[in-house]
Copies of this chain bind each other. A is one copy, B any other.
Amino acid sequence: MGTEIITIGTELLLGQIVDTNASWIAQRLAEAGIDLFYKTTVGDNAGRIEAALRQALERADVIITTGGLGPTEDDLTRDVVAAVLERPLRLDPAVLAHIERRFAHRKIPMPENNRKQAMVPEPAEMKPMLTEQVIPRIRETFGIQSRIVSRVLKTCGISESKLDHAIGDYFREMQNPTIGVLAHAGEIHVRLTCKGEDPATITRMLDDLEAKIRERLGPLIFGRDEEKLEALIGQLLRERKATLAVAESCTGGLLASRLTDISGSSDYLERGVVTYSNTAKEQILGVPAELLRESGAVSLPVVRAMAEGVRRMSGTTFGLATTGIAGPTGATPEKPVGLVCIALAWDGGDLAREYRFHGGRELIKYRAAQMALEMLRRHLLAVPISET
């Protein structure tokens, strides 16, 4: 059996919005083992909506439409669908009462054209409608048993070629689950995709392959699926009752901002300082003026002094610091755009590394913050830190 999605809306054909609904629906269908063969987009034009529907009726067993269901003049979907299927619309009193209640609740008079919405379920309900109603009905009607489940293992600070060297044989040999590798900003993801019928069997097959990959990559995998590096670091610090202070030059507050995106981060993040100027590095962090003069602000000695300085002033377990050239200005022949020094300091020790990141200013900031978090994570887990 085959499915077709028809998305309706002139704004889609003008490129004013990106059709994220269609790809969301496509994902859910794929997971549910429902084949999608075509996706068609038309504007708010009755003739062309009709043409698209008639075309889809010829080549698909199931048609899912989205868009054109609101209360305004140009919302034509319900009328055209009714005409094509030769099933006249009727006003559903229960739906109308529900819409009237919603307006009453918001204390605004209901415009007459909102009556139109009583003829269909509400468009804002697209996602639950699809997952709770549409997909189960399609699976039942067509006796679909199979489903597709994906799992993502995330790594940071390892190159694609090293990853290929480590798990390339699985990558090439595995038929089910299959393995795909995707590069994101500052992360490389390994995606396992399993097709099967029984959810428990699928989970077991994914678990088996994940275990094999983890055997090779070990703690180089920092997380799974939606897990974020900043959240995992929070967990690790919390488990160890450790605290953190950050000193940022080139990342300019991004490192602190990512750490504070995590609710409860005040338990372990004591403070952050953005020491953009040399004066601030001296005054707040106690970086010696002669060190700045001799080695330059972007250097391993300075980043070490920053990490140790912020740790000492805040009395935390760890101090984490960045300094670098985010560009596009500020580079010299010896210190190009993308050069970033990162250091981690603790009571009685420290480590510092130099990196070269590519991309524009925001991407360099992001990659530097990511690598600083990864440096802390690896130290907490006693994993060696390379210089890539």
Known: A39-B40, A263-B328. 14 other contacts (CB 8 A): A12-B23, A16-B27, A18-B18, A37-B45, A251-B257, A252-B257, A252-B260, A253-B274, A254-B260, A256-B274, A263-B361, A266-B276, A270-B276, A273-B274
A327 to B14, CA, bound (A): 38
Say whether A277 faces chain B, with CB atoms less than 8 Å apart: yes
Q: B-facing mask of A23-66, CB < 8 A → 1, else 0? A: 11111111000001111111101001001100100010000000
* A residues 334-388 touching B (CB-CB < 8 Å): 361-362, 365
Say whether A279 faces chain B, with CB atoms less than 8 Å apart: yes
With contact pairs A253-B274, A280-B271 given, residues A38 and B48 touching in the complex (Cβ less than 8 Å): yes
List B contacts of A141 (CB < 8 A): none
A273 to B330, CA, bound (A): 23
Say whether A13 faces chain B, with CB atoms less than 8 Å apart: yes
Tell me whether B266 and A256 are in contact (CB under 8 A): no
Say whether A329 faces chain B, with CB atoms less than 8 Å apart: yes
Point out the residue from B39, B276, B277 that lies within 8 Å of A13, measured CB to CB.
Answer: B39
* A residues 273-307 touching B (CB-CB < 8 Å): 273-277, 279-280, 283-284
Point out the residue from B40, B270, B272, B314 that lies within 8 Å of A40, measured CB to CB.
Answer: B40
With contact pairs A18-B20, A253-B253, A272-B253 given, residues A38 and B39 touching in the complex (Cβ less than 8 Å): no
Tell me whether B42 and A38 are in contact (CB under 8 A): yes
A238 to B29, CA, bound (A): 53
List B contacts of A59 (CB < 8 A): 51
Tell me whether A271 and B254 are in contact (CB under 8 A): no
Looking at the assembled complex, report how far the CB atom of A1 sits from the nearest CB atom of chain B, in whole angstroms: 14
A333 to B3, CA, bound (A): 50
Tell me whether B27 and A15 are in contact (CB under 8 A): yes
With contact pairs A23-B17, A253-B253 given, residues A271 and B276 touching in the complex (Cβ less than 8 Å): yes
List B contacts of A17 (CB < 8 A): 23
Looking at the assembled complex, report how far the CB atom of A40 sits from the nearest CB atom of chain B, in whole angstroms: 5
Say whether A259 faces chain B, with CB atoms less than 8 Å apart: yes
Tell me whether A255 and B253 are in contact (CB under 8 A): yes
With contact pairs A43-B37, A264-B329 given, residues A18 and B15 touching in the complex (Cβ less than 8 Å): no
List B contacts of A254 (CB < 8 A): 253, 257, 260
Q: B-facing mask of A242-259, CB < 8 A → 1, else 0? A: 000010100111111111
List B contacts of A259 (CB < 8 A): 252-253
Tell me whether A39 and B52 are in contact (CB under 8 A): no
Say whether A261 faces chain B, with CB atoms less than 8 Å apart: yes
List B contacts of A258 (CB < 8 A): 253
A265 to B59, CA, bound (A): 57
Q: Which B residue's beta carbon lies closest to that of A30?
A: B14
Say whether A269 faces chain B, with CB atoms less than 8 Å apart: yes
Point out the residue from B25, B256, B284 that lies within 8 Å of A284, measured CB to CB.
Answer: B284
Say whether A122 faces chain B, with CB atoms less than 8 Å apart: no
Point out the residue from B13, B23, B260, B329 that lies within 8 Å of A37, measured CB to CB.
Answer: B13
Say whether A74 faces chain B, with CB atoms less than 8 Å apart: no
Point out the residue from B15, B18, B52, B256 that lies within 8 Å of A253, measured CB to CB.
Answer: B256
Say whether A208 faces chain B, with CB atoms less than 8 Å apart: no
Point out the residue from B15, B37, B43, B260 that lies within 8 Å of A276, measured CB to CB.
Answer: B260
Tell me whether B41 and A13 are in contact (CB under 8 A): no
Say whether A227 faces chain B, with CB atoms less than 8 Å apart: no
Say whether A19 faces chain B, with CB atoms less than 8 Å apart: yes
Tell me whether B270 and A277 are in contact (CB under 8 A): yes
A251 to B272, CA, bound (A): 12
Looking at the assembled complex, report how far the CB atom of A343 sits from the nearest CB atom of chain B, in whole angstroms: 18
Tell me whether B261 and A361 are in contact (CB under 8 A): yes
